[in-house]
Amino acid sequence: MVKKTLRSIYTFYQNHFFVGCCISLSCMWLYHSLGDHALPIICWYKAITEAIFVYAVNARKNNEFFYYRNIGITKKMLWGTTLTADFLLFILLMVLSNKI
């Protein structure tokens, strides 16, 4: 059961990895170009674009969440793991852009 749950969460995350990665890469580029003084704006940009993305996916793929709910995965668990992984990628890219 755990393996199926992890595989299902991974599949859900795979569908949204590209958009999250593009947003994080654009934040990395902005941070590298503008410097430390733009960090609050970059963080707000990341938060707002992620919120818009989550809203769009929830509206577009509402029926898909029934599948996950039937196998015991809540919407909170899906989005929690997806956004946590995306946030960790964002932090990693921000640290790397500071080192470059």
What pLDDT score does 63 carry? 87
What pLDDT is recorded for position 5? 87
CB 6 within 8 Å of CB 21: no
- What residue ranges in the chain does DSSP mark as E strands? none
Q: Three-class SS of residue 39? A: helix
Report how far residue 43's alpha carbon sits from residue 59's, in angstroms, rounded to the nearest whole number: 24
Kindly report whether the global pTM for this prediction surpasses the value 0.85: no
Give me Rg for the CA atoms of the chain: 15
- What is the pLDDT, as a whole number, of residue 36? 87
The string of pLDDT tens digits covering residues 44-64 is 999 999 999 999 999 998 888
Q: Where are the alpha helices (DSSP H) in 35-74?
A: 39-60, 64-70
Residues of the chain with pLDDT under 50: none
Q: Is the separation of the CB atoms in 21 and 89 below 8 Å? A: yes
pLDDT of residue 54: 92
